[in-house]
Amino acid sequence: MTAAGWQQAKRILCIRLDYMGDVLMSTPAIRALKQSFPGSEITLLTSSSGAAVASFIPEIDDVIVYAAPWLKSSAEHQPDADMEM
pLDDT score for 26: 96
pLDDT score for 7: 78
pLDDT score for 73: 63
Q: How far apart are CA 38 and CA 10, in angstroms?
A: 8
Among 8, 11, 16, which residue's Cα sits nearest to residue 57? 16
What are the structural domain ranges in the chain? Answer: 9-65
Question: What global pTM score does this model have?
Answer: 0.78
DSSP designation for 45:
E
Mean pLDDT split into 10-residue runs, the chain, 85 residues = 76 92 95 93 95 95 91 57 45
